[in-house]
């Protein structure tokens, strides 16, 4: 699905939730999407026997390509938002990379969202920053073998616990600083999260476009489809296009009605 400037992918963790998870690639294809993306597709870090096969088969049967996949980020329903900075969760995070790499090899997926994690008072901020940088470097090296890119995402403050990355510049500080020698790490530019934090989306898009590896869109407040909130979605997409971004736009919103009824904004961009 495209609007003449961008091609859009459907995030099946939030879209098409009218159906069970493995049926959503088919619904996305029927709605006109050729590409899908997803959060970690399993309940825990280690898929049960056959789960990877069933996931890959669902994509193949629907005829869609997987273009972005989240690393295991802990218990998301319980509020966890990544494990990178957690010294006590490194073995779990690293082990979960094996099924991610298997999926990448079998599907051609090359963009991987790695959530930083929430700070914990049991360790100093410096200890957790060092843990996170080491994890990002190691996992970036693993996906680099496949030509993959790790994405680092700022999240909305107040909704995601003590998550320290809240602006695009927070990520750029890492990319220019401790991760400067790791060339396959980029910013995930999510309009909902950045807009919820008060970032000037148009300015940020123009300033940081060279470091943006992927874009995700939802409106705010509410995280619904574009047009359901107050963010300058159309203006931001215009700015991204004008600045030279030519990657996919991930539809990562919570539809306010049936998913299919919320897709007109792609063909008729929100003013």
Q: Where are the domains of the chain?
A: 8-267
Instruction: Give the catalytic positions in this structure.
Output: 153, 252
* Helical segments of the chain, H only: 24-30, 51-62, 90-107, 125-144, 168-176, 191-196, 201-208, 233-243, 264-267
211 contacts 175 by C-beta, under 8 angstroms: yes
Q: What is the pLDDT of residue 25?
A: 98
Q: What are the angstrom distances between the C-alpha of 103 and each of 69, 150, 157, 198?
A: 9, 15, 31, 36
Q: What is the pLDDT of residue 268?
A: 64
* Nearest alpha-carbon partner for 151 in 87, 198, 214: 214
Instruction: Kindly calculate the radius of gyration of the chain based on its CA atoms and give it in whole angstroms.
Output: 18
| Three-state secondary structure call for residue 89 | helix
Q: What is the pLDDT of residue 271?
A: 42
Q: Give the pLDDT of the chain (271 residues) as one tens digit per residue.
A: 999 899 999 999 999 999 999 999 999 999 999 999 999 999 999 999 999 999 999 999 999 999 999 999 999 999 999 999 999 999 999 999 999 999 999 999 999 999 999 999 999 999 999 999 999 999 999 999 999 999 999 999 999 999 999 999 999 999 999 999 999 999 999 999 999 999 999 999 999 999 999 999 999 999 999 999 999 999 999 999 999 999 999 999 999 999 999 999 997 644 4
pTM: 0.95
Q: What is the pLDDT of residue 267?
A: 72
User: To the nearest 10°, the Cα dihedral for 68, 42, 90, 81?
Assistant: 70
Q: At what angle do helices 90-107 and 51-62 cross, to 10 degrees?
A: 30
* Vertex 86 angle, CA 130 and 12, to 5°: 115
Which H or E element spans position 65? strand 65-70
What's the rounded Cα separation, in Å, for the pair 72 and 114?
A: 8
196 contacts 221 by C-beta, under 8 angstroms: yes
The highest-level CATH class for domain 8-267 is alpha beta
What's the rounded Cα separation, in Å, for the pair 168 and 16?
A: 29
What's the rounded Cα separation, in Å, for the pair 154 and 177?
A: 17
What's the rounded Cα separation, in Å, for the pair 247 and 21?
A: 25
In angstroms, the first-to-last Cα distance of the chain is 19
């Amino acid at each position: 699905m495209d609007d003449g400037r961008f091609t859009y992918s459907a995030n099946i963790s939030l879209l098409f939730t009218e159906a069970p998870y493995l049926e959503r690639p088919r619904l996305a294809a029927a709605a006109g999407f050729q590409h899908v993306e997803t959060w970690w597709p399993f309940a825990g870090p280690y898929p049960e026997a056959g789960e990877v096969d069933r996931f890959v088969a669902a994509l193949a049967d629907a005829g869609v390509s997987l273009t972005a996949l989240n690393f295991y980020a802990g218990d998301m329903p319980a509020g966890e938002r990544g494990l990178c900075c957690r010294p006590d969760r490194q073995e779990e995070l690293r082990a979960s990379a094996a099924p991610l790499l298997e999926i990448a090899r079998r599907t051609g997926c090359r963009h991987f969202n790695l959530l930083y994690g929430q700070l914990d008072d049991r360790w100093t901020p410096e200890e957790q920053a060092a843990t996170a940088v080491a994890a990002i470097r190691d996992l970036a090296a693993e996906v680099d073998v496949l030509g993959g890119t790790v994405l680092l995402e700022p999240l909305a403050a107040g909704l995601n616990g003590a998550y320290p990355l809240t602006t695009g510049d927070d990520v750029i500080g890492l990319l220019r600083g401790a991760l400067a020698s790791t060339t396959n790490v980029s910013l995930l530019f999510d309009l909902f999260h950045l807009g919820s934090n008060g970032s000037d989306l148009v300015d940020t898009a123009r300033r940081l476009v060279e470091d943006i590896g992927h874009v995700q869109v939802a409106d705010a407040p509410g995280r619904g489809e574009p047009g359901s909130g107050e963010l300058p979605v159309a203006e931001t997409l215009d700015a991204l296009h004008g600045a030279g971004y030519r990657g996919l736009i991930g539809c990562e919103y919570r539809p306010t009605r049936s998913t299919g009824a919320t897709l007109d904004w792609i063909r008729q961009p929100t003013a």
